Amino acid sequence: MLTQAPKGTLDMLPQDSHRWQSIERSMRKACALAGYREIRTPIFEHTELFQRGVGDTTDVVQKEMYTFEDKGNRSITLKPEGTAGAVRAFIESHMYADALPAKLYYSACPCFRYEKPQSGRLRQFHQNGVEVFGAKDASVDAEIIKLAMDILKANGIEGLKLNINSIGCPNCRKAYLEKLRDYLLPKLPTLCKTCQERFERNPMRILDCKEDAPKLTDAPAMLDNLCEDCASHFEKLKGYLGAMNLQYAIDPRIVRGLDYYTKTVFEIITDTPDGGELTVCGGGRYDGLVEELGGPATPGIGWGMGIERMLMVQDMRGTAPKAPDYLDAFVVTLGDEARMAGVKLVNELRGQGVKADLDHAARSMKAQFKYANKLGVKNVIVIASDELQRGTVKLRDMVNSTEQELPMEQVVEMFANS
Ligand code: ATP
Ligand code: MG
């Protein structure tokens, strides 16, 4: 137990951390280019925020939340996703009174869901995400979708499928839900228990049920029942995506069946070797959410992207980035005086932005070389008493096994300029 991490969690080990860093770097870079600024919200919030913000008919709220009572008897929940916290912060900080739209992002934000651990499903995972408040035009829908595709592409994750859909607005959805219920009613006894419960409050989610969806292929689609405003929004979105040369497919089965999700919803998915599908990124418009959580009516839209799933796709495709060189130079010393000079030299190298280190384990000279080899260091700088007296060092190329002697002062300059 003691040396085993809790089920559904993963360590990020030093040999892999460069992959995370590179994902985060590309996220920050792409977001900055498009005018998005970072927001960080707490890892836990009042439980009620997620009940309202994610919706208490969702699996996330009904089954997957890490909820506990704190010492002050408040019900607290570890965040299962990033949107609700961002909306709460938007309202609490009166960001709605600033210049809108507010274009926000978060990078590698920890999320917690009590799910059955399996491939691609963790209990602590990490999301990149963007949220935009105060932009109702479909140009922003297209912008965030393009942003997601660019970030995935920058990380060697290509060949993804982009599926889009529109789930309408409270205006057109009311009549559609009636149509849908009329269609579902005679089939109700054949549906699973969860879907029977969804029939009244959230019938669109039934179309999303893995068990029941195959029986419902001729169900009326929201997409065919949009009001003029929603239909024109969807047309505009397709136009903007086309203008950016983004390929997409329309999938009328994507739903985010909550009242405050509106219009655009989308998923970015990839095939897995076992014939399944993996969703790497999902998002949508939530024009009713800010108001639902107590703020002024403000349109919103966002997506969440699973970092561990990005890593899975990199592994599947063999497109993981190579680790950068661990060190530019390793200093090997012999004797106390040389060691003093080595400490000084390493310090100067680091000061010039050169990645450098020396032995800290009191190893013999031979063992220092062996250690440098193990680290895969190409350049070893040798300081021994002979060299010290001459004011020089030996520079050893560990790959070609060549050596040259050069003045100590030149070494720092040489590495700093290389
Ligand atoms: P799924 O259909 O896979 O359950 P979801 O609809 O629950 O996904 P979202 O709430 O949209 O997922 O979260 C956005 C992204 O976060 C997902 O596309 C996925 O990449 C990632 N994600 C969601 N749940 C998990 C999990 N348990 N473990 C790892 N990544 C996850
Ligand atoms: Mg899920």
Q: Catalogue all structural domains in the chain, each as residue range(s) with its CATH number.
A: 14-169+227-317 (3.30.930.10), 329-417 (3.40.50.800)
CA distance linking residue 131 with residue 39, whole number of Å: 10
Beta carbon of 64 within 6 Å of any ligand 1 atom: no
- Ligand nearest to the Cα of 126, by number: 1
Q: How far is the CA of 279 from the centre of ligand 1 (A)?
A: 7
CA distance linking residue 199 with residue 58, whole number of Å: 13
pLDDT tens figures, 214-223: 889 999 999 9
Joined tokens for residue 312:
């899975």
pLDDT tens figures, 13-30: 999 999 999 999 999 999
- State pTM to two decimals: 0.94
Using an 8 Å Cβ cutoff, are 105 and 128 in contact? yes
- The three-state secondary structure class of 272 is coil
- Ligand nearest to the Cα of 282, by number: 1
Joined tokens for residue 319:
């497109």
CA distance linking residue 159 with residue 80, whole number of Å: 28
pLDDT of residue 257: 65
pLDDT of residue 403: 96
pLDDT of residue 17: 96
pLDDT of residue 198: 87
Backbone angles phi, psi at 115, to 5 degrees: -110, 165
pLDDT of residue 362: 94
pLDDT of residue 256: 78
What residues of the chain score a pLDDT lower than 50? Answer: none
For ligand 1, atom 3: residue with the closest CA: 279
For ligand 1, atom 1: residue with the closest CA: 279
